[in-house]
């Protein structure tokens, strides 16, 4: 059974979060000051209500004035009550822009940061758990700004004002009882809230696990049906939810102890104060109005005191919820780009790999001393078995990762010394696995150049041999493709990827097994367009079907991260080596991996 993780407690997170919040809200100093002024005015009006009520009760309790109506005092009582509400609403109105913009700022910062993170982060992250962590983190920040700030500060102000009035007008014992109650309540709340944080973290962790499981299962719904494993998935999810329910019950038990203890301390304090006040009235040392005033103030203190306990609990929960968000914002990109790097200056678009070595994980090298040049305007194809390092070359050229040794140069410029955005702007990619947004076909094609006109999108679609398919759809180019493009076939998705690259019209192209999802007839139809697109462009082709690269200017054969052969299609066949063996296997319909 999952045990509470007592080691996960980060007291330094609080200052970090509050420092981050202050850096954002400092932009709205004027609104913060106005909100604080209205806050103080609201509390002054709130504290003034019992004072006015005492005067009214005393006026109506005296025989000589019982038959006169204290109109001014009653009007003042009503105005004070209204003023308390009015100033509170004005406070919220002025501060709402600060709260909402700060939450939006954090959400935007997180969104931008996620796109800055490298391929290794996105390879290991689980979307089902990532999104709830972001949602809980931004909700926690919203609470810290809104309810946290405007409950903690006014509560302390109100308690302070009441204690001053009580100390100035009544026995010191009233103030002593209230002070002792406050200290006991605070100590108990701090202690038990700290213990409960362990259970809250466990609930959050299991909730994230459940969301990961749910998302993973739904994204692979077809595989579940292929193997009729619905019951297996249900059992796995049931086990996680069972552990989550147990953790939530333990959390609720801790909350029960906390609430009952807090209520007990308040009840003892209220009873002590009221007994003392009742004795004062009985001995005629105090008036009925004093009793009403003290009762009102005790209730007025206890309610915010209880609210203070609630706020502290929620602040702790908010800090816990914000922990994952801060951890996410502290994730470092795979490629850290210094500011001020110059743009890539493209002249001929010649690409050179010089003694490149690379490994994704320590102890698992992928590339070993790889060197080759793609002259400007030529096409080089890379072939090899699964795991030979073909696709890694494309990822390194796009600078998803930095090389471990050696360098990659374009027109003599090391790509580590140029602006990455300018590098990728010069490269068009037709990947093996086409990623589509849950939007229209037109949007997905235009993603290659978002400023393109509809006529240019249509021209690119025609060049990619997909215009007829789109025109046959009831909604044409406005047809939704579904999440990850599930509403269209793999071949159609790859044609859209080809249309994107055509629309982008870059000087450098990468075809990463660009026709792998097409049947032979479709492949022949598109191959001519690929050849036309690659003409006079520097092109790197990662090939699976060798028939698609027979016209390449040079073919590189890789095996376990090494270049083992290079040459034209004809010369490699004459060598009767690794490439000839791959060609023979494919010509006879055997899988490439058997090479």
Q: Which of 282, 311, 329 is the last residue of a domain?
A: 329
Place of tokens 């700022």: 105
How far is the C-alpha of 123 from the C-alpha of 125, rounded, in Å? 6
Residue 55 lies in a domain: yes
Nearest to 343 by CA among 429, 426, 448, 451: 426
User: Cβ neighbours of residue 143 under 8 Å, at least 6 residues apart?
Assistant: 314, 315, 318
Distance of CA 61 to the CA centre of its chain: 63
CA angle 510, 398, 412 (to 5 degrees): 95
Residues 317 and 354 in one domain: no
Among candidate residues 350, 355, 357, 387, the one with its CA nearest the CA of residue 371: 355
- The verdict on residue 370 lying in a domain is yes
Kindly give, in sequence order, each residue whose CB lies less than 8 Å from that of residue 173, ignoring residues fewer than 6 positions away.
276
Same domain, 19 and 77: yes
Query: Residue 462 falls within a domain, yes or no?
Result: no
In a domain, 64, yes or no: yes
Residue 449 dihedral angles phi and psi, to the nearest 5°: -155, 90
87 & 216 share domain: yes
Please check whether residue 147 lies inside any domain of the structure: yes
Sequence-ordered list of residues with C-beta below 8 angstroms from that of 126, at least 6 positions apart, any chain: 212, 215, 216
How would you write 291-347 as a 3-class SS string? Answer: HHHHHHHHHHHHHHHHHHHHHHHHHHHHHHHHHHHHHHHCCCCCCCCCCCCCCCCCC
* Same domain flag for 316 and 382: no
Residues 371 and 325 both lie in one domain? no
> Same domain, yes or no, for 34 and 80?
yes
Q: For the chain, what is the domain count? A: 2
Is residue 358 a contact partner of residue 367, using CB atoms and an 8 Å limit?
A: yes
**Under a CB-based contact definition with an 8 Å cutoff, are residues 461 and 445 in contact?**
yes
Same-domain pairing of 289 and 381: no
The rounded Cα 220 to chain-centroid distance in angstroms is 23
For residues 351 and 271, membership in a common domain is answered with no
187 and 101 in one domain? yes
Q: At what angle do helices 127-143 and 172-219 cross, to 10 degrees?
A: 160
CA separation (Å) from 193 to 171, 309, 390?
34, 9, 55
For residue 132, give the CATH number of its domain.
Answer: 1.20.1560.10
- 482 φ/ψ sector (left φ>0, alpha ψ -120 to 50, else beta): left
Domain end, chosen from 270, 296, 329, is at 329
Same domain for 197 and 88, yes or no, is: yes
The domain in which residue 408 lies consists of: 337-426+510-520+540-595
Which has the closest alpha carbon to 542: 329, 316, 383, 327? 383
Q: How many CB atoms lie within 10 A of CB 572?
A: 23
pLDDT score at 594: 38
pLDDT tens over the chain, length 595 residues: 333 333 333 444 445 666 666 666 667 777 777 777 887 788 778 777 777 777 777 666 665 555 565 678 778 778 887 888 888 788 777 777 777 777 777 777 877 777 777 666 666 665 656 776 777 777 777 777 766 566 666 777 777 777 787 777 777 888 888 888 878 887 887 777 777 767 777 887 888 788 778 877 776 776 777 667 788 888 888 888 888 888 888 888 888 888 788 888 888 888 888 788 888 778 777 777 777 777 777 776 766 666 666 666 677 777 777 777 777 777 777 767 788 889 999 888 999 999 999 988 777 888 999 999 999 999 999 998 777 888 889 889 988 888 889 999 999 999 999 988 899 889 988 887 777 888 889 988 988 888 889 999 999 898 888 898 899 988 898 988 887 777 887 778 888 888 888 888 899 999 887 776 566 776 776 777 777 878 888 999 988 778 888 888 999 999 888 899 999 999 999 998 888 888 888 776 554 443 3
Using alpha carbons, list the distances in angstroms from residue 590 to 31, 395, 493, 564, 585: 72, 28, 26, 21, 5
Q: Determine, yes or no, domain membership for 465.
A: no
Cα–Cα distances in angstroms (integers) from residue 328 to residues 16, 76, 115, 482, 534, in the given order? 14, 53, 12, 28, 40
Domain boundary among 312, 329, 346: 329
User: Residue 570 is part of a domain; what is its CATH number?
Assistant: 3.40.50.300
Supply the pLDDT for residue 1: 36
Domain identity same for 228 and 364: no
What local confidence, expressed as pLDDT, does residue 168 receive?
A: 78
Place of tokens 């005092």: 73
- Pairing mode, strands 508-512 and 538-542: parallel
SS3 at position 472: coil
Residue 84 domain flag: yes
Query: Is 416 a domain residue?
Result: yes
The verdict on 188 and 250 lying in the same domain is yes
Report the pLDDT value the prediction gives residue 68, as an integer from 0 to 100: 60
DSSP H or E segment with residue 183: helix 172-219
Residue 8 has what pLDDT? 32
Q: How far is CA 321 from CA 135, 167, 192, 204, in A?
A: 9, 41, 18, 8
């Amino acid at each position: 059974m999952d045990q509470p993780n007592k080691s996960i407690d980060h007291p330094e997170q609080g200052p970090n979060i509050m420092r981050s919040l202050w850096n954002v809200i400092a932009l709205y100093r004027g609104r913060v000051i106005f909100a604080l002024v209205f806050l103080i005015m609201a509390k002054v009006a709130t504290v003034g209500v019992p004072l006015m009520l005492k005067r009214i009760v005393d006026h109506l309790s005296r025989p000589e004035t019982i038959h006169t109506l204290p109109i001014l005092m009653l009007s003042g009582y009503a105005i004070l009550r209204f003023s308390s509400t009015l100033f509170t609403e004005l406070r919220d109105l002025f501060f709402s822009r600060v709260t909402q913009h700060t939450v939006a700022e954090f959400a935007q910062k997180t969104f931008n940061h996620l796109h800055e993170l490298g391929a290794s982060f996105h390879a290991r992250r689980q979307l089902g758990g990532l999104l709830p962590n972001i949602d809980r983190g931004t909700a926690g920040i919203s609470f810290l700004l809104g309810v946290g700030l405007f409950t903690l500060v006014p509560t302390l102000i109100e308690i302070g004002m009441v204690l001053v009035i009580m100390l100035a007008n009544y026995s010191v014992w009233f103030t002593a009882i209230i002070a002792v109650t406050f200290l006991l309540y605070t100590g108990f709340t701090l202690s038990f809230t700290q213990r409960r944080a362990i259970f809250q973290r466990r609930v959050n962790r299991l909730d994230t696990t459940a969301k990961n499981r749910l998302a993973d299962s739904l994204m692979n719904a077809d595989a579940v049906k292929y193997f009729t494993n619905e019951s297996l998935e249900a059992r796995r999810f049931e086990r996680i939810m069972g552990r989550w329910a147990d953790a939530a019950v333990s959390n609720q038990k801790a909350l029960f102890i906390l609430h009952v203890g807090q209520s007990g301390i308040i009840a003892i304090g209220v009873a002590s104060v009221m007994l003392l006040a009742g004795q004062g009235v009985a001995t005629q040392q105090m008036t009925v109005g004093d009793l009403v005033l003290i009762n009102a103030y005790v209730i007025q203190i206890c309610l915010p005191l209880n609210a203070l306990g609630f706020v502290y609990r929620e602040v702790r929960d908010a800090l816990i919820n914000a922990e994952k968000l801060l951890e996410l914002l502290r994730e470092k990109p795979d490629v850290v780009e210094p500011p001020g790097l110059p743009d890539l200056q493209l002249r001929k678009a010649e690409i050179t790999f010089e003694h490149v070595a690379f490994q994704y994980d320590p102890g698992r090298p992928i590339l070993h001393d790889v060197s080759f040049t793609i002259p400007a305007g030529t096409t080089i194809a890379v072939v090899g078995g699964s795991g030979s390092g073909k696709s890694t070359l494309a990822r390194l050229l796009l600078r998803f990762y930095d090389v471990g040794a050696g360098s990659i140069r374009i027109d003599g410029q090391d790509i580590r010394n140029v602006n990455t955005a300018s590098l990728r702007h010069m490269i068009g990619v037709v990947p093996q696995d086409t990623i589509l947004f849950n939007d229209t076909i037109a949007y997905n094609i235009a993603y290659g150049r978002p400023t393109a006109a509809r006529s240019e999108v249509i021209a690119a679609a025609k060049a990619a041999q997909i215009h007829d398919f789109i025109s046959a759809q009831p909604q044409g180019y406005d047809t939704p493709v579904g999440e990850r493009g599930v509403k269209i076939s793999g071949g159609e998705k790859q044609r859209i990827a080809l249309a994107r690259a055509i629309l982008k019209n870059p000087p450098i192209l990468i075809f990463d097994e660009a026709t792998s999802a097409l049947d032979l007839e479709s492949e022949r139809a598109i191959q001519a367009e690929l050849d036309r697109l690659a003409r006079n462009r520097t092109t790197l082709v990662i090939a699976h079907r060798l028939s698609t690269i027979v016209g390449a200017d040079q073919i590189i054969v890789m095996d376990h991260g090494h270049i083992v052969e290079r040459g034209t299609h004809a010369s490699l066949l004459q060598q009767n080596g690794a490439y000839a063996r791959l060609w023979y296997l494919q010509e006879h319909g055997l899988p490439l991996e058997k090479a």
